[in-house]
Structure 1
Amino acid sequence: MSSSYGSLVKEAIVLLDKFIAGRQCLDDFMEDVSKDLQNMDTLHKKFILDVVSGCTEHKKLLDVVINVFYGQNGKCLSRGDRSQFVIICYLATFALDDLGLQRFSNIVKSLDIKKMHTFLTFFFTNLTTWIQQEWNDIYDAAYVEKHWIGPLLRWRPEIDILMDQLAVKMSRGSQVKKAQIKTTEPQEFSLTKPKPPPLPMPELIPQQEKCKPVPNSTYRAPKEMQMIEELKQKNHQKSEELLYEANIKQFRCVNPKKSEHTKKVTPVVKEDFDSKLKFNSFNSSESPSSNKSNSWSIKLNSAAILRQGALYDRQVEEELQRMERLVEGAREPSSFLQWQKEMREKDLQEELAKIERRRLEGRISYEEAAMARTRIMERNQKTAQLKKEETAQLMRRYAEKRLQEEKEMRDLVQQVAEGHKNSKTAKEKLQKFKQSIVKEVSEQGRELLRQALEEAQAELSRKFEIIHEIRAIESLPHIRVGNFDDTETAGHKLLGEMSLAELKERLALLKEAQQTEQQEKREHILEEKQNKKQLLLEQLDTIDLHRRALAQAAAIRKGERKARLGFQQSVTQDMTVLALQRKLEEKKHERQRLKQIESKKAKTSKQAAAHTVRHTETHNRKGLKENSWEELELSLERHIQKDTPYVVSPTETLKT
């Protein structure tokens, strides 16, 4: 068993090369391979299929090792050996525990020993360094350490012994090659022997000119068809995903739980009602997030601090104006606010009751739709059963008709075979016609080559002329400029003409003036920042004072809010909601009862279908047996007529 693993690995290498070259689907490729390997033993077949499928599944991990190995040793290796390195790497990483060291060593020794030795030394020396890091980038580090790196390190001593054996075999092979080389032995000159006359040179046989090969594009399928197939596959996969999502998700309008929209809307409605109760008065403002004086829940910037300070100043002014109006004799709208608060709470309770009723009505409609769907499924199953019986009858008739047509086709094939005797003359004519076409094509090719040669010569001569012109231009002498004095002017006699030294001095003075101006600007900005910081500190003190006052007011309002938390109990006590809940329970019980009835019917229908299938199979077998006996009798009659053509068959006598 272990000795045959080398041949199995070689066959797996051939299949892996085919799969990489074909670029087809893995499942289709594995089905074709399993059909081709039907005559093989089941264990051998399973080993080959597991190796090929494992190499394709773990291609990303294996390519990390193989690509770097080819990058280092690519000069002395061929691309055709890539598959055997991939399979050895897969067996060492994933299947070494199942195979065992004896089978693995037999597989390695059945391949090229020198290549296997170099690959195994490369793999096990770099295993715990960059290979482990690359694998950790692809998979989890703990998983890689536990399942791949750890087992390989346990097998490391046995693998070292195997590599030593391979090195010994390599050294023996090199010694045998050196021993086979023989030294040259000198021979004495034979001066007395006359030289034989030289043989005449044979005449050169005129060779036929090679025809221009047909381009590969004629045998290659167009890319558009491949692109269309890929688009079809993508669209089919997308449609399947959408159908799967549509089947999994429930109908949103009849969701038994509260929908996300209602969950989002209820706190917004509550906040809206509370905010309408909060006017611009001091008592109705919100409480701060904490009671501590120096703790800030949100880090405010300067604009927010100034804005909040201005808001508190405006609130203080409004409160002072309100106090003045009260002193003058005005009334405070506290009773109206209390009545408005109660009415808004009542409206909120009614709205929540409406939402609960809608939810229950939606759930009831969902149960009714499910019951209607089960009834429609029962009706469809009955129609499908009738269709199946009709198709079974049609298939029986079709099988009988096909047997009759096959008999007629056999007779026609015999008649056509007799009429194809004169096909050799037609083939010879076709061969001559093809030879004439090839001659015409070769003549056209020679003409095109001559034209291309003339064009290339003209282009080459033009390039030589351009090169001569460039060399003539380069041979001209260069004009060199003399020494330069930076204190002298250029001599153009302009109004503001300056020397280079004067220009540098003026630029230095201008730079000093700019630096002094920037320093003054910095001092001015620092002074403004200090003033702004002082203003912000004052505003923070005022904000802290106001927040403490608001915290005291919030503690007073906290007791009032506890009295308004009993609105949910009133929603459940609504009579309409209770009636809808009872109706929903009844619909659920009815739906469960229909499900039980449907399951019983399905069992009975399965038993009846199995009985009909057995009956049709026995009928088809009887018909096939009768047809086979008739064909045997006809073949015997033909054989007898060939031997004795003048004897009348018993079937013909019966017909007469």
Structure 2
Amino acid sequence: MSSSYGSLVKEAIVLLDKFGAGRQCLDDFIEDASNDLQDMDAQHKKFILDTVSGCIEHKKLLDIVISVFYGQNGKSLSRGDRSQFVIICYLATFVLDDIGFQRFSNIVKSLDIKKMHSFLSFFFANLTTWIQEEWNTIYDAAYVEEQWIGPLLRWRPEIAVLIDQLAVKISHGSQVKKAPIKTTEPQEFALTKPKPRALPMPELIPLQEKCKPVPNSTYRAPKETQIIEEIKQKNHQKTEELLYEANMKQFKCVKQQKSEHTKQLMSQIQKDLDSKLKFNTRYSSGEPSRNKNSNWSVKLNSAAILRQGALYDRHVEEELQRMERLTEGAREPSSFLQWQKEMREKDLQEELAKIERRRLEGRISYEEAAMARTRIMERNQKTAQLQKEETAQLMRRYAEKRLQEEEEMRDLVQQVAEGHKNSRTAKEKLQKFKQNIVKEVSEQKRELLRQALEEAQAELSRKFEIINEIRAIQSLPHVRLTIFDNTETAGHELLGEMSLAELKERLALLKEAQQIEQQEKREHILEVKQKKKKLLLEQLDTINLHKRALAHAAAIRKEKRKARPEVQQPVTQDEKLLALQKKLKDKQQERKRLKQIESNRAKASEQNTAHTVLNTGTHNEKSLGGKSWEELELNLERHIEKDAPYMVSQRETLMA
């Protein structure tokens, strides 16, 4: 029966590993496991499912013990054995009274003896110290002492005997491994009663192969959501920056300097004109680079060296062709390039004048819009003042009327409260009736639980009988013969059948042939590398030669350019631009005058509102007999919300 329970525990270990890897719902997992174990006996199936579900439900208590055990013995243990220790801890803590000590010892002996010995000695040595303290932090101390610590202490003597047996087996196994092989000696035949044959040592159960862990990408959130969130944050930050920039630069057009947008447009137009007029550039001498340290060494890879060498070769061919055309009588287009430069500067001046006119027109339209905005604000302020005066008059009318209605509502509330006192006696009777029903249901529940316990005990006794029968069958010896010859074949009569010695010889020859082939490949690769290195060195020499020639030509062009006088053409002023600038100044002066008038009006209106507030406050105090203005306002809002909840309160209208 020990091997049967060992196989059941292994099935439970596999299921617990699957649940830890899948992290799915417990009910769904148990249902799927029961469907997979349909061919198994009902009792064995129930034992496996109860063990797995119990380990998952008491995961917090079991993880406390297993985590510390791995912390102390983590070097000699693997993570794949964690489920094995969890199940043994669960059986010893929660199910030892139900299954009995004999079954528990058989289960422990069916697993790895050395690991079980170390775990049980660790668990029962620290049971009443830090393990009990950690469990008390999760559950009540009295409950832990009564349900778990007490039963384990009662089983401690039997567990100590089991631990000693495991230690003896471990020491015996080590001695058997170290003892030398003894030769058999013949003994004389004696007609005596033969001794009973000793039971053979149980074979070590092979460790379960490690399952391939599920990749992290299966349970990792998709990257698309994270990328979308990052893009949203960047866009939000960009909009905030643009809004701040727009708020800070909205009055920048008032200044006389050009805006950044205008400068960007001018530079873009200049680039477009240059790109359109850049034809026959190979005949023109470009401007040399202004970097003084132009001879700095740059590290190039092989591809860059080959590309640059091919480029210089193509330049050399083009230069040779140009020299051939010149010798045949062709001319360089120097006069055409001068006319091209003049036309380009003329177009640029016209484009700059157009941009300046557009800028001035935009500023004038902005000034006109600002003046129109001030006029609209004045009109809105007048209408708002009239609405405030009308609401104040309505509030004065309704204040006294609502106070009277409030007193009437108070009287009605008192009458209703007196009628509710009679309903308390009826509630007390109903509560007593419910308590009687609860007592009857609890008595019926106890009777059903007692019947279920009797059925479970009968089922358990029947299981004990079956276990004893299976254990007697499994105690029979097994005879195994292990004789193997390396030079003989398996005898399957196949065409390519070989013995182990022949197979090893052929593998050695194949390995030697592979080494020779690899050596030839290495030599070929070294030869190709040397050829490539030689080619790169040649290309580097040509590149350095061309660089020196280009630097010399650039220095000559720079000296010629310094000798030429620089010609500066002033920007022509247009009559339309002058007229627009004058109009803009007039609009700005008019807007300043409107702002001054508006500020004077605001000061005068503040003084008038202060006088009116003082006068209205004294008048209301006299008319309402000592009631403050705030109390009247709150009462009016309360009654308006009761009668018509869709109406806007007076405070909200004032805030608006």
Alignment TM-score, normalising by the size of structure 1 = 0.50
TM-score w.r.t. the length of structure 2 is 0.50
